[in-house]
Amino acid sequence: MKKDFMFTSESVTEGHPDKLCDQISDAIVDHFLEQDPYARVRAECAVATSILFIASRFGSKATVDFANVARKVIKQIGYEHPDFNSKTCSILTSLKELPPDNYYCFDEASLTEEEIERIPVRNQETVFGFACDQTPPLMPMPIWLAHKLAMRITRVRREKILPYLAADGKTQVGVEYRNRKPYRIHSITITTSQKEATEINLKRMEEDIRETVIAPAFEGQSVRPDNKTAIFINPIGIIMVGGPAVHSGLTGRKNATDTYGEYSRYCGSALSGKDLLRIDRVGAYAARYAAKNVVAARLAEECEVQLSYSIGLAGPVSVQVETFDTGKIPDEDIAELLEKHFDFRLAGILREFRLRSLPATVKGGFYRKLAAYGHVGRTDMELPWERTDKIDVLR
């Protein structure tokens, strides 16, 4: 296992076209589940200059105005440019209503163990969860810092600290590791867009970003930029407007950003735009839950949990653990503990996390908020799969 290396991860702001599509897709999921917790829905978006396309299949008693949901998200994010805004962009839809399927309209909280065992997954998938002791939320440091910078960019834009910024932006953080531990910040890259032609030049933007974004994001961090850290701010110059007016977007294209910044493996399927019967979504949350509790219990410094599901079975056919030579006990023993104390069955995951009820309890839409800045490792949201309540049983 490599001990000394440099690793980079990227994040994007909520105004990036891919994230716009993710948020619209999950806002549609929220609207269905708020009215009908048993709704089945898939929603995917594609966006380009002046046009948004929504493809969705759904089976529900809920009523959802897809175009109106999309326009609200576009407006809330802050797209106001003539080439793309909530009022004038064209929205095309391809919608298909699914036939009734009462088999999956179950209340998982009231099911017996035997009944949970009889509810199979409907798609085959291998999902991954990861945790490590590099940061307080037990996430890899590069993606955690990249998210902090991206969230800070959005904050200074929304609070008009830097009112000239537009919604689209990217961040990247490179961390140098020694003995697989973060040692120093190797590089920081920030790319932002500007609303319109102003007197703000690149030098002024660099100074503003350093002062209002980078410095606050690293405040109190044990590993901070030093005098050798390479910092690049808009390295190709000022970008006017950004967003769909410049480049296209697609639901599910930022899977690495949604998870572990490619520091660990992740499922190739999109997390956003799916209801809670999709094991490729909820299984990824369950795997993160297991991995985080392993690290929190100090059974390992790093832990990757792999769950493999087959169509027609209630739970995974395989539970694998990799601790990268950091485990205090053998990986096989940790896997046995997980199978004993965690419920990886579809209905069991829904019951453990109460996933159906979350959209009705979170103002502004639970899954829509989840769609930007990561589905895991969040400290600004109370995510049930981020709990570390299994420490005692694992120890």
Give 274's DSSP letter: B
Is pLDDT at 333 greater than 90 in this prediction? yes
The pLDDT value recorded for residue 1 is 64
What is the distance between the alpha carbons of residues 116 and 130, in angstroms, rounded to a whole number?
26
The pLDDT value recorded for residue 291 is 98
The chain-wide mean pLDDT, for the chain, equals 94
Is pLDDT at 208 greater than 70 in this prediction? yes
* Residue scoring higher pLDDT (286 or 109): 286
Chain position carrying tokens 């529900």: 60
Percent of residues, the chain, with pLDDT higher than 70: 99
Range in 85-89, 358-362, 391-395 the model is least confident about: 358-362
What are 305's strand-pairing partners?
A: 129, 321
CA 188 to chain centre: 21
Is pLDDT at 175 greater than 80 in this prediction? yes
For the stretch 11-70, pLDDT in tens is 999 999 999 999 999 999 999 999 999 999 999 999 999 999 999 999 999 999 999 999
Alpha helices in the chain (DSSP H): 17-35, 66-77, 113-117, 141-158, 202-209, 215-217, 255-258, 279-296, 331-341, 346-353, 358-361, 366-370, 391-394
What is the distance between the alpha carbons of residues 357 and 360, in angstroms, rounded to a whole number?
6
What are 93's strand-pairing partners?
A: 54
Sequence-distant (6+) residues with CB within 8 A of 102 are none
Element (H, E) at 237: none
* Structural domains of the chain ordered from first start: 5-11+140-242 (3.30.300.10), 17-105 (3.30.300.10), 115-134+254-394 (3.30.300.10)
Q: Residue 251: name the closest of 263, 267, 269 by CA.
A: 269
What is the distance between the alpha carbons of residues 378 and 143, in angstroms, rounded to a whole number?
11
The pLDDT value recorded for residue 360 is 86
For the stretch 76-129, pLDDT in tens is 999 988 889 999 999 999 999 998 777 778 889 889 999 999 999 999 999 999
The pLDDT value recorded for residue 201 is 85
Q: Residue 80: name the closest of 248, 193, 208, 212 by CA.
A: 193
Percent of residues, the chain, with pLDDT higher than 90: 85
The pLDDT value recorded for residue 336 is 97
Phi, psi of 93 (to 5 degrees): -130, 145
The pLDDT value recorded for residue 255 is 95
Sequence-distant (6+) residues with CB within 8 A of 312 are 120, 121
Structural contact between residues 53 and 47, judged by C-beta atoms closer than 8 angstroms: yes
pTM of the predicted model over 0.85: yes
Counting Cβ atoms within 10 Å, is residue 199 exposed (0-12), middle (13-18) or buried (19+)?
exposed
Q: How would residue 364 be classed by pLDDT, with cut points 50, 70 and 90?
A: confident
Rg (CA), the chain: 21
